[in-house]
Amino acid sequence: MSMISCEKVYMNYDSTKAVNGVSFSVEKGDFLCIVGENGTGKSTLLKGILGLQKLNSGTIVFSGITNREIGYLPQRTLVQKDFPASVREVVLSGRQTKGFRLFYTANDRKTAQKNIELMGIGHIRSKPFNELSGGQQQRVLLARALCATQKLLLLDEPTTGLDPFVTAELYSLISRLNREHGVTVIMVTHDIRNSVEYANKILSMEHDGDFFGTTAEYMKTDAAKRIFGGGNNA
pLDDT of residue 76: 76
In the predicted structure, residue 78 carries a pLDDT above the cut 60: no
Q: Which of 125, 107, 118 minimizes the C-alpha distance to 142?
A: 118
Q: What is the pLDDT of residue 229?
A: 78
Q: Characterize 106-115 residue by residue with b for buried, 16 or more Cβ atoms within 10 angstroms of its Cβ, and e for exposed.
A: eebeebbbeb
Question: What mean pLDDT comes out for the span 199-218?
Answer: 92
Please give the backbone phi and psi of residue 23, each rounded to the nearest 5 degrees, phi first.
-130, 130
Average pLDDT over residues 122-150: 93
**For the whole model, what pTM was predicted?**
0.91
State the pLDDT at residue 97.
64
What residue ranges define each of the domains in the chain, with the CATH number in brackets? 1-65+184-234 (3.40.50.300)
Average pLDDT over residues 8-15: 89
pLDDT category, 172, cuts 50, 70, 90? Answer: very high
Instruction: Kindly report, residue by residue over 58-74, the tens digit of the pLDDT.
Output: 999 999 998 778 999 99
* 188-200 per-position pLDDT tens digit: 999 999 999 999 9
pLDDT computed for residue 132 by the predictor? 93
Task: State the pLDDT confidence band at 154, using cuts at 50, 70 and 90.
Answer: very high
| Cβ partners under 8 Å of residue 222, min gap 6 | none
As a whole number of angstroms, the distance between CA 189 and CA 24 comes to 17
d(CA 131, CA 121): 14
Q: Among the listed ranges 143-152, 165-174, 221-230, which one has the minimum average pLDDT value?
A: 221-230
How much is the average pLDDT of 186-215? 92
Closest residue by Cα to residue 42 from 157, 213, 127, 149: 157
